[in-house]
């Protein structure tokens, strides 16, 4: 099996992400991901992202980033890159971290600040490279994450890793992946407000340590929590928000994509958009 077909099959993108009639000859999912290396040391220079002539997954055109307090644009492309005036005042990332990275990890491991400590198997701090320039933030650990102690494992994690690989990011080196909550809500229920408040300082300190160039918030819960917003994913996608001083882009949670195949095309749009934005922010 050709590598490009193998990647497409592993990603599970189906016909939406697969070339038709030779129109996706330059599709990044067909490219061999670059060797694993920290993004800061080896900026991803794949020329594939901007040149995807995909009718289904056409990239959102990117205009120069503008600071704006303007109303949200319609979700349909094209939309400008807008740095929205949204921030969660309860999670100030500008503050210096209080604990070292290892102290923070140990503190989280023995945390009992909310009721979730009573039902968890273990805490889930994060995975990836703490020096990475990309920070991926999801909602909370699920069953597999609770068992394995890592975020985004199982089918959803595999899909995320493959989606990141499709834009040239190695999930072990180029990104750090964490959740808003560090412990699994029983039955995968939605986190409660008091649990978020109890846990928020851990994520704040993680962000303060990592100081990412770009945050990718996956899923409605993570996006709404970080942006202090009640807007839907549909309204939050396609723009560059700010989480305090860090640019933030919203997309779907991989677990959602596994159940909603058509939205994989929109997810690909978001990844292309995020990649372009990252390159703009990095001056690449
Ligand atoms: S969810 Fe966060 S605040 Fe609650 S027990 Fe776990 S680490 Fe502590």
- Looking at the CA of residue 108, tell me the nearest atom of ligand 1: 7
In a domain, 52, yes or no: no
Contact criterion met (CB below 8 Å) for 86 and 223: no
Q: What is the DSSP string of 24-69?
A: TTT-GGGSPPPPS--TTTS----TTGGG---SSSPPPP-PPPEEE-
CATH of the domain at 248: 3.40.470.10
SS3 category, 93: coil
123 lines ligand 1 (CB under 6 A): yes
Measured distance CA(105)–CA(124) in Å, rounded: 9
- How far, in Å, are 126, 133, 211, 231 from residue 149 at the CA level? 8, 23, 23, 31
- Domain of 160? 61-282
- How far, in Å, are 59, 85, 270 from residue 27 at the CA level? 12, 34, 15
Q: Look at ligand 1, atom 3, and give the residue with the nearest C-alpha.
A: 199
From ligand 1's centre to the CA of 58, what distance in Å? 40
Q: Look at ligand 1, atom 1, and give the residue with the nearest C-alpha.
A: 183
Decide the pairing of beta strands 175-179 and 241-243: unpaired
pLDDT digit string (tens) for the chain, length 284 residues: 444 454 455 455 543 344 333 332 333 333 333 333 333 333 333 333 333 333 233 333 333 333 333 334 433 343 344 444 444 434 444 456 789 999 999 999 999 999 999 999 999 999 999 999 999 999 999 999 999 999 999 999 999 999 999 999 999 999 999 999 999 999 989 999 999 999 999 999 999 999 999 999 999 999 999 999 999 999 999 999 999 889 999 999 999 999 998 899 999 999 999 999 999 999 87
In a domain, 13, yes or no: no
Q: Look at ligand 1, atom 4, and give the residue with the nearest C-alpha.
A: 114
Q: In terms of C-beta density within 10 A (0-12 exposed, 13-18 middle, 19 or more buried), how is residue 212 classed?
A: buried
199 lines ligand 1 (CB under 6 A): yes
In a domain, 42, yes or no: no
From ligand 1's centre to the CA of 144, what distance in Å? 17
From ligand 1's centre to the CA of 130, what distance in Å? 20
Q: How many domains does the chain have?
A: 1
In a domain, 187, yes or no: yes
């Amino acid at each position: 099996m050709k590598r490009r077909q193998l990647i497409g099959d592993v990603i599970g993108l189906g016909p939406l992400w697969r070339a038709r009639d030779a129109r996706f000859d330059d599709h990044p999912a067909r490219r061999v991901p670059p060797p694993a290396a920290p993004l800061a040391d080896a900026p991803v220079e794949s020329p594939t992202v901007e040149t995807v002539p995909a009718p289904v997954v056409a990239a959102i055109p990117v205009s120069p980033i503008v600071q704006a307090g303007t109303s949200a644009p319609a979700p349909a492309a094209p939309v400008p890159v807008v740095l929205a005036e949204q921030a969660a005042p309860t999670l100030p990332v500008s503050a210096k971290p209080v604990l070292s990275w290892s102290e923070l990890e140990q503190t989280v491991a023995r945390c009992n600040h909310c009721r979730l400590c009573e039902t968890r198997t273990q805490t889930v701090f994060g995975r990836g490279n703490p020096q990475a320039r990309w920070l991926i933030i999801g909602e909370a650990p699920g069953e597999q994450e609770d068992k394995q102690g890592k975020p985004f494992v199982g089918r959803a994690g595999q899909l995320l890793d493959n989606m990141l690989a499709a834009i040239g990011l190695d999930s072990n080196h180029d990104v750090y992946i964490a959740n808003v909550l560090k412990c699994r809500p029983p039955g995968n229920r939605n986190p409660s407000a008091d649990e978020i408040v109890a846990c928020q300082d851990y994520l704040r300190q993680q962000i303060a340590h990592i100081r990412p160039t770009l945050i990718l918030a996956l899923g409605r819960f993570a996006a709404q929590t970080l942006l202090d917003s009640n807007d839907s994913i549909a309204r939050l996608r396609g723009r560059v928000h700010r989480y305090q001083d860090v640019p933030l882009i919203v997309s779907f949670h991989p677990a959602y994509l596994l159940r909603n195949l058509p939205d994989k095309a929109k997810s690909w749009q978001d990844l292309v958009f995020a990649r372009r934005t990252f390159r703009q922010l990095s001056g690449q």
